[in-house]
Structure 1
């Protein structure tokens, strides 16, 4: 029988990419990881790793082993969920990753609800964009991720992950005072009027940046991107101080009245989807279910504050 610990190391290598990354994540020495994987090769009787420059990649046989390991780990997570369900109180640590605006608008309320209902449950929250948090979820660094999906830019779907919708978040064009313009302008005309203005957008490689660039190009111009940051509070400040135009989601206001002029976007581009994501074997865990319920209630309270 193959050693499960060594199989998990092989799985970690697939998700993290390098022996050094596996060692860092698990607090091992790289030589120890390498030695354990060599022992796994001896157990299996076939080559599992092959060199590619200074790195290694998994062989076809290693990929087969990882696929089976995923199934075993999912079953173990289901077993953990069954044990937790049999207990009276929720304990332990739940690890959550959230992008910034959801962290501002939803996480505090959800934490209040969890604290009131499950005071023994320890919740650890990390602010991280979905481009990084979803791979980390599959690598088991988190138990639940708050993610977003922009219109026209669907996220890749993984059979290992389960999604649950929270809300549709309105997206607006944010105008600096120097932009002028009229409320009567069509959404596309309002967008074109900012063709010569500086812009603040999220960095290259993010879904939000791809969506924003596509929207501007569909309007017939290439935005003059002067500022790049994932910090949407800085986006707001730059618009307030007339340094840039921006695209701002409703969650950035966190229940407050907008402080800048907002215009509608063209139809089909006006909302992003906000949802929770968990690993398939983890969805039945009572702490995960309680957390998802808290986020659903937080979203409902935001929509219906009364």
Structure 2
């Protein structure tokens, strides 16, 4: 019988690429991860890893087992969802991840509605950049999350996760006057922190217009970004959800590129009653037409 916890480690090795990264994700030592994977190989009766020096790669049998591991983990999620649905009333923790603009706009009314309908749910919200959410969902550190992607920075498919569309947004150039991207070539730019989706999106949008943005400031809070634009410190790209209380002197010019907000959860959890309840409350708050289930 194959151990599910070891299957999860093998799946994560396929995701992260190194034993050290898997160990860091699970707060294990690399030696402990190696021992567990060696035990899984003994259970499987076939080589799952090809070791060359310090590097490790999945064998064809290892890749096959990873595909089946995703099915097993999704089936366990479905089983847990079915058991939760058999209980009377919703109770217990619901750990929610969300990006900052959703925290200020979409989430509060959804939480009010959810708490009123299901007072025994223990709601816990964590503000996160969407780039870190997939691993937290895979590790069950979150139950559900709001994520976003852009036309220029699409979400990479992840067999361990599922998403449901919530809303699309316009992206604006925030500048002292009406501008297009080409007209901002010589302007100083205000970008989000490197490694975030917003940073990558802005860089790619400028590159598509034929130049690399000249970065003067880094700021992740869009209220700060708009304040800096009003102070003449540069130009920036701002999504629709953040385009509220725009300071005097800042003009927002819409771009054809879009930002898409999605609800993310583990494969197999789409029928979990807490996930469905959150999706319903969130969909109502966002005016969404499509929710999981």
Shorter chain as denominator, the TM-score bin is 0.7 to 0.9
| Shift in alpha-carbon separation, 1:136–1:60, aligned structure 2, 3 A | farther
TM-score calculated relative to the size of structure 1? 0.82
Per the alignment, residue 6 of structure 1 pairs with 6
Residue pair 1:15, 1:135 contacting (<8 A) in 2 also: no
- Counterpart of 2:234 (choices 238, 244, 255) is 244
TM-score calculated relative to the size of structure 2? 0.85
| Shift in alpha-carbon separation, 1:4–1:138, aligned structure 2, 3 A | closer
Structure 1, 22-31 or 233-242: larger mean CA deviation: 22-31
| Shift in alpha-carbon separation, 1:16–1:217, aligned structure 2, 3 A | closer
Q: Give, in whole Å, the separation in 2 of the partners of 1:37 and 1:54.
A: 15
The alignment status of 1:228 with 2:218, answered yes or no, reads yes
- Counterpart of 1:211 (choices 189, 201, 208) is 201
Q: How far 1:287 moved relative to its partner?
A: 0.6
| Shift in alpha-carbon separation, 1:22–1:217, aligned structure 2, 3 A | closer
The alignment status of 1:274 with 2:261, answered yes or no, reads yes
Q: How far 1:153 moved relative to its partner?
A: 4.1
Q: Secondary structure, in 3 states, of the residue corresponding to 1:282?
A: coil
| Shift in alpha-carbon separation, 1:25–1:263, aligned structure 2, 3 A | closer
| Shift in alpha-carbon separation, 1:125–1:52, aligned structure 2, 3 A | farther
Q: Secondary structure, in 3 states, of the residue corresponding to 1:273?
A: strand
Q: Give, in whole Å, the separation in 2 of the partners of 1:259 and 1:130.
A: 27
**Is there any run of 5+ residues in structure 2 with no aligned partner, and where?**
289-293
Structure 2 matches for 1:125-204, cutoff 5 A?
Answer: 125-176=125-176, 181=177, 188=180, 191-204=181-194
Q: Secondary structure, in 3 states, of the residue corresponding to 1:155?
A: coil
| Shift in alpha-carbon separation, 1:197–1:289, aligned structure 2, 3 A | same
Q: Give, in whole Å, the separation in 2 of the partners of 1:161 and 1:290.
A: 18
CA RMSD of aligned residues (A): 2.6
Residue pair 1:172, 1:262 contacting (<8 A) in 2 also: no
Between the two proteins, the alignment pairs up a number of residues equal to 287
- Counterpart of 1:300 (choices 269, 272, 287) is 287
Residue pair 1:15, 1:138 contacting (<8 A) in 2 also: no
Q: How far 1:98 moved relative to its partner?
A: 1.6
Residue pair 1:15, 1:139 contacting (<8 A) in 2 also: no
**Is there any run of 5+ residues in structure 1 with no aligned partner, and where?**
302-306
Q: Give, in whole Å, the separation in 2 of the partners of 1:122 and 1:79.
A: 21
Q: Give, in whole Å, the separation in 2 of the partners of 1:151 and 1:163.
A: 16
